[in-house]
């Protein structure tokens, strides 16, 4: 009669289910942190730009000041468009990195399961 080795079963359970789950959760937490930081950085930059624009318009006192303010708006619009493009590129890059790493975790887990299944079929 075969004895039941609970330590081996526990180790196999950990290797097959818990270790990949921990790896995926660590990846998810890291991804979430990076996304939130990117969003906070973008929000701060947009807020700062908005406040600067409000301060600038409050200083308009004559037609020349208004003309100067309106001319500066083209530069601000261009900078905001570039910032938005950069922020979008950053988000896409973070998402692609997350997808690649999660696929790697899945592939590694499948390989490990196939190896374990092969070992079990040979010992059975």
Per-residue pLDDT of the chain (124 residues; tens, 9 = 90+): 456 677 877 887 787 788 889 999 999 999 999 999 999 999 999 999 999 999 999 999 999 999 999 999 999 999 999 999 999 999 999 999 999 999 999 998 888 878 877 777 776 5
* Structure token pair of residue 4: 């039941």
Per the document, the length of the chain is: 124
**pTM of the predicted protein model:** 0.75
* Structure token pair of residue 50: 């908005």
Say how far apart CA 51 and CA 42 lie, in whole Å: 14
* Structure token pair of residue 107: 């592939």
Say how far apart CA 58 and CA 90 lie, in whole Å: 34
Q: Judge contact between 99 and 27, C-beta under 8 A.
A: no
Say how far apart CA 36 and CA 59 lie, in whole Å: 35
């Amino acid at each position: 009669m075969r004895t039941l080795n609970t330590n081996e079963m526990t180790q196999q359970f950990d290797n097959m289910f818990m270790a990949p789950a921990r790896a995926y959760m660590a990846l998810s937490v890291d991804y979430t942190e990076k996304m939130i930081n990117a969003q906070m950085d973008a929000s701060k930059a947009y807020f700062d730009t908005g406040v600067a624009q409000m301060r600038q318009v409050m200083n308009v006192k004559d037609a020349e000041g208004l003309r100067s303010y309106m001319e500066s708006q083209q530069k601000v619009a261009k900078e905001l468009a570039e910032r938005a493009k950069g922020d979008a590129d950053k988000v896409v890059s973070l998402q692609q990195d997350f997808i690649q790493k999660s696929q790697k975790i899945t592939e590694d887990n499948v390989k490990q399961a196939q190896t374990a299944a092969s070992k079990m079929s040979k010992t059975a």
